Amino acid sequence: MRQIILDTETTGLEPSDGHRIIEVGCVELIDRRPSNNHFHQYINPQRDIEDGALEVHGISSEFLQDKPVFADIVDDLLEFVDGAELIIHNAPFDIGFLDWELSLLDREDRMSDHVSVLDTLELARDLHPGQRNSLDALCKRYDVDNSSRKLHGALLDAEILADVYLIMTGGQTDLGLSFQADEPVDHEAGDLALDERPALLVLTASPQEIAAHEARVQAIHEKSGHCLWNDI
Active site residues: 152
For residue 1, give every residue at least 6 positions away whose Cβ sits within 8 Å of its Cβ, in sequence order, or none. Answer: 29, 30, 31, 32, 85, 226
17 three-class SS: helix
Contacts 24+ apart (CB under 8 A), 42-46: 42/67, 43/67, 43/68, 43/69, 43/70, 43/73, 44/68, 44/69, 45/10, 45/11, 45/19, 45/20, 45/21, 45/70, 46/20
Q: Bin 156: left if φ > 0, else alpha if -120 < ψ < 50, else beta.
A: alpha
Contact 91, 121 (CB under 8 A): yes
- Give the bridge partners for 175, in sequence order: none
Cβ atoms within 10 A of the Cβ of 80, count? Answer: 17
Contact 11, 49 (CB under 8 A): yes
E strands of 80-211, at which residues?
85-88, 116-119
The closest alpha carbon to 25, from 1, 2, 42, 46, belongs to 42
23 three-class SS: strand
